[in-house]
Structure 1
Amino acid sequence: MKPLDIHTINAYQSKAQAAKQGFYTNYIAPFGANKSTHKECDDKIYGIELSDGYVFLKDFENFSKLYFLTPHLCDLKAALDKLDRENICLEIIQRGALAKELQEVLCAYFAPHSLYEKLTISTKNLKLKLKNHPYTPQHAQLTDLDYLCQSLKSNFDARFDHLPSPSELTHYITNQQVLIQRDTNGEIIAYCIYQIDGKTSHFNYLLNLKADPFCLIALMESYYAELKHKGIQHIYLWVDIRNNLRVKNMHTRYGYQSSHIFNHTFTHINTKEIS
């Protein structure tokens, strides 16, 4: 693989979309489209220029993500044959199931990992559960930053859960978008982290560190009360329905519905070791 110019890849993508050309891709949100959120545009991209399209890798701290953009599965397969790195993963966000022919190619090199479903709800349709409870959720402080960063790394999958950087998490804390519950010793026992974009909120992370389900429900309902106070009209979140269907059921009881958009995730198989 060789260094590639991400702007050239973005130009190819734009041209293909404008021409309504059919192609296989998991490269949906171009790097560099929003420099405040896509710092990847400043990093190096390595990949293969195909006869028509690209296959490339973006390096993260302990893994690499693979992206592809081509109308020809034979070219994609030829490029995947040349992969020689470990700790490669990929994700494909789209409506519904993957095309059978694409899945067959990918599964020769990658193992299906998790399947995230996007759930949505209008805040006016929320079905709240608790009327009175003894919990007192509060906003996180900047002194909680290091603990929250470490907890996110320990309890979520950095490859697919899109963990915030310390600077991004600082932004959320400063803007009161991190709710926490402390125990009597002042230790954080549950937290909720969310984003706001206009009138929409992304319910990013919810974690209960103690065996107290009512604490988690109280935290969620405090989050919903905040959103209503801020005039937020819509909420969405992602749930791993392959490995955590119970969590989806919890959210559907609040009134969430499927958007029929899924994130299909895969981890690389070292075919050389298998053979």
Structure 2
Amino acid sequence: MQLTVSTWNINSVRLRIDQVGRFLKERRPDILCLQETKCPNDKLPLKELQAFGYPFVVHMGQKGYNGVAILSRYPFTETGVMEMCGRQDARHITVTLSREAKAAAGVTIHNFYVPAGGDIPDQGLNEKFKHKLDFMAEMRSWGSRSKPTSAPAILVGDLNVAPLEHDVWSHKQLLDVVSHTPVETQALEELRQEAEWVDAMRALRPEPEKIYSWWSYRSPDWAAADKGRRLDHIWLSKDMKDTLRSIDVTRETRGWDRPSDHAPVTAVLEL
């Protein structure tokens, strides 16, 4: 059985509902995890999402910003959220697939939206950057305490860190830019390695290949400049590593009309 999982920071699900539908029609993943839905639960376009062929939807949202959702072709037996750093700011949601998912039954999917961190990489001067580091520290503590990789699990999301040298267009020029500073990359890699998550993209497509999933709106010609960063990730529990068959970035979505600045990342597993 193949299980296809996609993750996408959609930057407003209501504004880009047609793009969600187009992506789902073209790629047809079994699971789509969205970040930055930017709407409260009662404003989620649920009927439209279900009409795309995804009857099982769970969402944790708030007005105007943040928000995470999981769309699935398969039912789930459990859902849950974590309030990270003592804030109710809709940055995590999880599901466990039910027996109707056949070989995928029991797989838990975690969807995270890590804070961006603002513009100044200094905890003393920038509260947003401090929150980002605190958030990742709490993720690390959760991983150590709850052992999420002790059973089949997938962690996806906009983690807002490009951890490796070839995850950015210029390692040297971005060392002092939020999302690629050493304190962030070290924090993300430590929490990943400590919980024994496998970075699916780099498992199949190792460095020095350059891979990006985000291109700034500030670039007048994002495609020609190609100054991207790999901020969107799919991680697997180590027992799922050998099931990974392919993983890619649907780069063309960045060129659609009124696009998100992120492109979807999709992994195909053979269970």
Specify the TM-score bucket, using the shorter chain as the normaliser.
under 0.3
* TM-score where L is the length of structure 1: 0.25
Name the structure with the higher strand share: 1
Considering Cα pairs closer than 8 Å and 6+ residues apart, tell me whether 1 or 2 has the greater RCO.
1
Q: Which has the larger radius of gyration?
A: 1
* TM-score where L is the length of structure 2: 0.25
